[in-house]
């Protein structure tokens, strides 16, 4: 009887050991993959049509106004945005092209104050550890007029490279920033004072908190492109 109990205990121990070793492996496989980090601040998922960047909250603009939403730290305008990031704006432009986004390229220095930025409409989401949900970027930034945001891929590849402002996302239409807000023309914030923008302190975490910002083409625009692509393929 004692021998049978001893064998049974050995079998139970072996089973528990195997089970305990398998759990971490399963958890690792099920965990989210390819999230951006401080060391690797940009991740492109071409299949999902998303670009995710590692960024952080700039507490200064929870209290004061800015026309910049997201800017590369090493750009000339680094430190002037609600969110800072180590993701380079030139690489970000290439990532937008990679996921199929089409730039408007309708703005110049000469027409900027009379022109609303064109290009693909973009969905921009923000989240962080402990966030209640994944927020739209427009929920994390306050427009003093209460208007809706309309973020579009303006393009501006050459000027973005030459001027090296680092601007990834601007809050009024911009002839240099890659993505900007078509609701207002250039100069609405700093020149004409039509609107003021600041981070939403009731939602955003404290200064320096890491966040993940994810960009994708607005679903309706993306759907229309797929239809056009299928029609073109059928015609050929």
DSSP line for 38-92: SSS-EEEETTTTEEEEEEEE-GGGGTS--SEEEEETTSTTTT-SSEEESS-HHHH
How much is the pLDDT for 235?
Answer: 55
pLDDT score recorded for residue 231: 53
The answer to whether the CB of 217 falls within 8 A of the CB of 101 is yes
What is the structure's pLDDT at 22?
A: 35
Give pLDDT, residue 50.
98
Burial class for 219, CB neighbours closer than 10 Å (0-12, 13-18, 19+):
exposed
Using CA atoms, how far apart are residues 104 and 179, in angstroms rounded to an integer?
10
Residue given tokens 């299928």 in the structure block? 230
For the chain, list residues with pLDDT below 50.
1-32, 229, 232-233
pLDDT of 14 reads: 44
Please give the pLDDT value at position 220: 77
Sequence-ordered list of residues with C-beta below 8 angstroms from that of 209, at least 6 positions apart, any chain: 56, 57, 128
Q: What pLDDT score does 227 carry?
A: 52
Question: 0.85 exceeded by the pTM?
Answer: no
Q: How many C-beta atoms surround the C-beta of residue 89 within 10 A?
A: 26
| Coil, helix or strand at residue 197 | strand
Cross-strand partners of 170: 68
Task: Give the CA-trace dihedral at 72, 164, 200, 101, to 10 degrees.
Answer: -80
């Amino acid at each position: 009887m004692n021998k049978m109990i001893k064998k049974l205990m050995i079998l139970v121990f072996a089973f528990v050991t195997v089970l305990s070793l398998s759990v971490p492996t399963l958890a690792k496989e099920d965990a989210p993959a390819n999230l951006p980090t401080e060391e690797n601040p940009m991740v492109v998922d071409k299949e999902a049509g998303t670009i995710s960047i590692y960024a952080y909250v700039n507490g200064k603009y929870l209290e004061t106004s800015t026309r910049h939403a997201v800017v590369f730290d090493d750009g000339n305008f680094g430190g002037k945005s609600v969110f800072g990031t180590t993701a380079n704006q030139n690489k970000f432009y290439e990532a937008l092209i990679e996921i199929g986004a089409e730039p408007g390229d309708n703005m110049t220095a000469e027409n900027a104050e009379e022109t609303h930025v064109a290009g693909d409409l973009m969905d921009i989401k923000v989240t962080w550890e402990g966030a209640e949900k994944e927020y739209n970027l427009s929920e994390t930034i306050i427009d003093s007029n209460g208007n809706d945001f309309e973020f579009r891929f303006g393009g501006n590849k050459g000027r973005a490279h030459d001027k090296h402002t680092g601007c990834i996302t601007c809050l009024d239409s911009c002839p240099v920033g890659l993505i900007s807000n078509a609701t207002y023309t250039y100069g609405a914030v700093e020149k004409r004072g039509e609107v003021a923008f600041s981070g939403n302190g009731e939602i955003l975490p404290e200064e320096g908190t890491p966040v993940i910002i994810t960009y994708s083409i607005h679903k309706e625009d993306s759907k229309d492109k797929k239809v056009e692509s299928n029609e073109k393929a059928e015609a050929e």
